[in-house]
Amino acid sequence: MKKIIPFSLIIFSLFSCSDEVKLQGTWDAVWETSPESFGKITGIESFTMNGKFIFQGDSITIVAHGYKGCVFGVDTIQHSQTWNMQNDTLYLVNESNLQGISYFIKSKDENSIELQLMEDIFIHLKK
Protein backbone atom coordinates (compact mmCIF):
# COMPACT_ATOMS: atom_id res chain seq x y z
CA MET A 1 0.00 0.00 0.00
CA LYS A 2 2.86 2.40 0.81
CA LYS A 3 4.20 1.97 -2.72
CA ILE A 4 0.85 2.56 -4.39
CA ILE A 5 0.31 6.05 -2.96
CA PRO A 6 3.59 7.59 -4.29
CA PHE A 7 3.07 5.86 -7.63
CA SER A 8 -0.47 7.26 -7.82
CA LEU A 9 0.83 10.76 -7.10
CA ILE A 10 3.40 10.49 -9.90
CA ILE A 11 0.76 9.33 -12.39
CA PHE A 12 -1.62 12.10 -11.29
CA SER A 13 1.15 14.70 -11.71
CA LEU A 14 1.94 13.51 -15.21
CA PHE A 15 -1.69 13.69 -16.29
CA SER A 16 -2.28 17.09 -14.69
CA CYS A 17 0.64 18.58 -16.66
CA SER A 18 -0.18 16.88 -19.94
CA ASP A 19 -2.10 19.81 -21.49
CA GLU A 20 0.83 22.18 -21.06
CA VAL A 21 3.33 19.69 -22.45
CA LYS A 22 1.24 19.20 -25.58
CA LEU A 23 1.21 22.94 -26.25
CA GLN A 24 4.98 23.43 -26.00
CA GLY A 25 6.73 24.37 -29.24
CA THR A 26 5.93 26.35 -32.35
CA TRP A 27 2.49 26.23 -33.93
CA ASP A 28 1.62 27.73 -37.32
CA ALA A 29 -1.40 29.99 -36.87
CA VAL A 30 -4.13 31.21 -39.22
CA TRP A 31 -6.54 33.89 -38.02
CA GLU A 32 -9.86 33.86 -39.83
CA THR A 33 -13.08 35.81 -39.67
CA SER A 34 -16.18 36.15 -41.80
CA PRO A 35 -16.56 39.11 -44.18
CA GLU A 36 -20.17 39.42 -42.96
CA SER A 37 -18.86 40.45 -39.53
CA PHE A 38 -17.29 43.60 -40.93
CA GLY A 39 -19.64 44.81 -43.64
CA LYS A 40 -18.18 46.89 -46.42
CA ILE A 41 -14.91 48.44 -45.24
CA THR A 42 -12.95 50.25 -47.91
CA GLY A 43 -9.58 48.67 -48.61
CA ILE A 44 -10.26 45.39 -46.83
CA GLU A 45 -9.84 42.47 -49.20
CA SER A 46 -8.73 39.59 -46.99
CA PHE A 47 -10.18 38.04 -43.88
CA THR A 48 -7.30 35.70 -42.99
CA MET A 49 -3.82 36.27 -41.56
CA ASN A 50 -0.88 33.93 -40.93
CA GLY A 51 1.47 33.82 -37.99
CA LYS A 52 2.81 31.67 -35.16
CA PHE A 53 2.06 30.79 -31.54
CA ILE A 54 5.30 29.82 -29.77
CA PHE A 55 4.89 28.18 -26.34
CA GLN A 56 8.06 28.04 -24.19
CA GLY A 57 7.38 27.05 -20.61
CA ASP A 58 4.90 29.54 -19.18
CA SER A 59 5.72 32.10 -21.90
CA ILE A 60 3.94 32.51 -25.22
CA THR A 61 5.12 34.58 -28.17
CA ILE A 62 2.53 35.42 -30.79
CA VAL A 63 3.65 36.58 -34.22
CA ALA A 64 1.00 37.89 -36.63
CA HIS A 65 1.88 38.81 -40.21
CA GLY A 66 -0.46 41.59 -41.29
CA TYR A 67 -0.47 43.01 -44.80
CA LYS A 68 -2.21 45.62 -46.93
CA GLY A 69 -5.88 44.79 -47.32
CA CYS A 70 -5.99 42.45 -44.30
CA VAL A 71 -8.87 43.02 -41.87
CA PHE A 72 -6.54 42.23 -38.93
CA GLY A 73 -3.96 44.91 -39.77
CA VAL A 74 -1.13 45.84 -42.09
CA ASP A 75 1.85 45.38 -39.76
CA THR A 76 3.66 42.31 -38.55
CA ILE A 77 3.42 42.27 -34.77
CA GLN A 78 5.13 40.15 -32.16
CA HIS A 79 4.49 40.08 -28.44
CA SER A 80 5.27 37.78 -25.54
CA GLN A 81 3.27 37.15 -22.39
CA THR A 82 2.76 34.42 -19.87
CA TRP A 83 -0.16 32.06 -20.31
CA ASN A 84 -2.24 29.53 -18.46
CA MET A 85 -5.06 27.22 -19.30
CA GLN A 86 -8.17 26.56 -17.26
CA ASN A 87 -10.79 24.11 -18.44
CA ASP A 88 -11.61 25.11 -22.03
CA THR A 89 -9.92 28.53 -22.06
CA LEU A 90 -6.39 29.66 -22.90
CA TYR A 91 -5.58 32.86 -20.98
CA LEU A 92 -2.84 35.32 -21.80
CA VAL A 93 -1.60 37.09 -18.68
CA ASN A 94 -0.11 40.58 -18.81
CA GLU A 95 2.85 41.90 -16.83
CA SER A 96 0.77 42.85 -13.80
CA ASN A 97 -0.65 39.30 -13.61
CA LEU A 98 -4.06 40.33 -14.89
CA GLN A 99 -5.77 38.08 -17.38
CA GLY A 100 -5.72 39.68 -20.80
CA ILE A 101 -7.00 38.04 -23.94
CA SER A 102 -8.82 34.76 -23.46
CA TYR A 103 -9.31 32.20 -26.20
CA PHE A 104 -12.03 29.57 -26.06
CA ILE A 105 -10.53 26.20 -26.99
CA LYS A 106 -12.99 24.65 -29.44
CA SER A 107 -10.88 21.54 -29.99
CA LYS A 108 -7.33 20.31 -29.60
CA ASP A 109 -5.23 17.28 -30.28
CA GLU A 110 -1.52 16.57 -30.72
CA ASN A 111 -1.28 18.38 -34.08
CA SER A 112 -4.05 20.97 -34.20
CA ILE A 113 -5.90 23.39 -31.96
CA GLU A 114 -8.97 25.43 -32.82
CA LEU A 115 -9.35 28.66 -30.82
CA GLN A 116 -12.13 31.23 -30.83
CA LEU A 117 -11.71 34.89 -29.91
CA MET A 118 -14.95 36.76 -29.31
CA GLU A 119 -17.79 35.55 -31.48
CA ASP A 120 -16.31 35.75 -34.94
CA ILE A 121 -12.53 35.36 -34.91
CA PHE A 122 -11.09 31.88 -35.18
CA ILE A 123 -7.44 30.85 -34.88
CA HIS A 124 -6.35 27.54 -36.36
CA LEU A 125 -3.07 26.20 -34.94
CA LYS A 126 -1.11 23.37 -36.60
CA LYS A 127 2.14 21.73 -35.50
Q: What's the DSSP call for residue 1?
A: -
For 43, list phi and psi in degrees, rounded to 5.
90, -5
Taking the C-alpha atoms of residue 95 and residue 79, their distance in angstroms, rounded to an integer, is 12
The CATH number of the domain holding residue 33 is 2.40.128.280
Can you tell me whether residue 15 is helix, strand or coil? helix
Q: pLDDT value at position 37?
A: 81
Domain count of the fold of the chain: 1
Q: pLDDT value at position 99?
A: 65
Q: pLDDT value at position 98?
A: 62
Q: pLDDT value at position 97?
A: 66
Q: Which residue segment(s) compose the domain that 66 sits in?
A: 4-126
How crowded is residue 31: how many other Cβ atoms within 10 Å of its Cβ? 21
Burial class (CB in 10 A: 0-12, 13-18, 19+), 109: exposed
Q: Determine which helix (DSSP H) or strand (DSSP E) holds 49, and give its type and residue range.
A: strand 48-56
pLDDT tens for each residue of the chain, 127 residues long: 444 443 333 333 333 444 444 789 999 999 999 998 877 788 899 999 999 999 999 999 999 999 999 999 999 999 999 999 999 999 999 776 666 889 999 999 999 999 999 999 999 999 9
